[in-house]
Structure 1
Amino acid sequence: MYRARDRVDNEEWLAQLDRAADSLELGSESRSNATDLFLTHVPDEDRSKPATAAASLYAGALIAGEERSQTAVADAMDVTRLSIQKRWKGILEDAGFRPPSW
């Protein structure tokens, strides 16, 4: 879980998540899931935050049933697809979900 202060400290990344969700035409459930996942997994290093935010957005959309491709999410978040690929399953598992096996 995260603290309320985490939302304030990461306002820039949450705004970027929201912009990317707009461009991907994701609904409020996907956005809420992505926000919760990101704030629960915020890395200490700034250089890791874009990839974590993108993986959280991808995972949040999966949970909400609004699947988007890793490439589409990576483009919307301006990261590489590999950044998402390396992180999304761990984020889902840490949140108590079982990643799909496709």
Structure 2
Amino acid sequence: MYRASDEVDNEAWLADLERACDRLDLPSETRSRAADLFLSTVPDGDRSKQPALAAALYVATLATGERRSQGDVADAVGVSRLSVQQRWKSLMESAGLEPPSW
């Protein structure tokens, strides 16, 4: 869970998230889920926020059935695919979601 002030503190990052969602043509449910995941687990350091944002977006695409590849999400956010790959599963589990078994 996150505080309302987290939204204000991370306004620029949430704007980046919206731009990435536009690039991926994602619906509002996926956008909202990604923002919730990001704000619930936002790291302290700015350097870690962009990869965390990408992982949150990838997990949101899986959770809402709007699957996009790790590479597509990474490109939309501006990080490496490895950044997404290293973070998505632990984020999904910490959110109480079941990772896919493929």
TM-score by structure 2 length? 0.98
In the alignment, the residues of structure 2 paired with residue 14 and residue 91 of structure 1 have an alpha-carbon distance, to the nearest angstrom, of 18
Instruction: Report how far residue 21 of structure 1 moved.
Output: 0.3
Q: CA RMSD in A?
A: 0.5
Aligned length, in residue pairs: 102
- Residue 70 of structure 1: aligned partner: 70
- Residue 30 of structure 1: aligned partner: 30
- Residue 85 of structure 1: aligned partner: 85
- Residue 58 of structure 1: aligned partner: 58
In the alignment, the residues of structure 2 paired with residue 60 and residue 16 of structure 1 have an alpha-carbon distance, to the nearest angstrom, of 15
Instruction: Report how far residue 44 of structure 1 moved.
Output: 0.6
In the alignment, the residues of structure 1 paired with residue 71 and residue 52 of structure 2 have an alpha-carbon distance, to the nearest angstrom, of 15
In the alignment, the residues of structure 1 paired with residue 48 and residue 20 of structure 2 have an alpha-carbon distance, to the nearest angstrom, of 17
> Is 1:19 paired with 2:19?
yes
In the alignment, the residues of structure 2 paired with residue 63 and residue 32 of structure 1 have an alpha-carbon distance, to the nearest angstrom, of 11
Instruction: Report how far residue 61 of structure 1 moved.
Output: 1.0
The Cα offsets for residues 54-99 of structure 1, whole Å up to 9 and x where unpaired, read as 0000101111100000000000000000000001111111111010
5+ residue gaps, structure 1:
none
TM-score by structure 1 length? 0.98
- Percent identity, aligned pairs only, is 62
In the alignment, the residues of structure 1 paired with residue 62 and residue 26 of structure 2 have an alpha-carbon distance, to the nearest angstrom, of 11
In the alignment, the residues of structure 2 paired with residue 23 and residue 78 of structure 1 have an alpha-carbon distance, to the nearest angstrom, of 11
5+ residue gaps, structure 2:
none
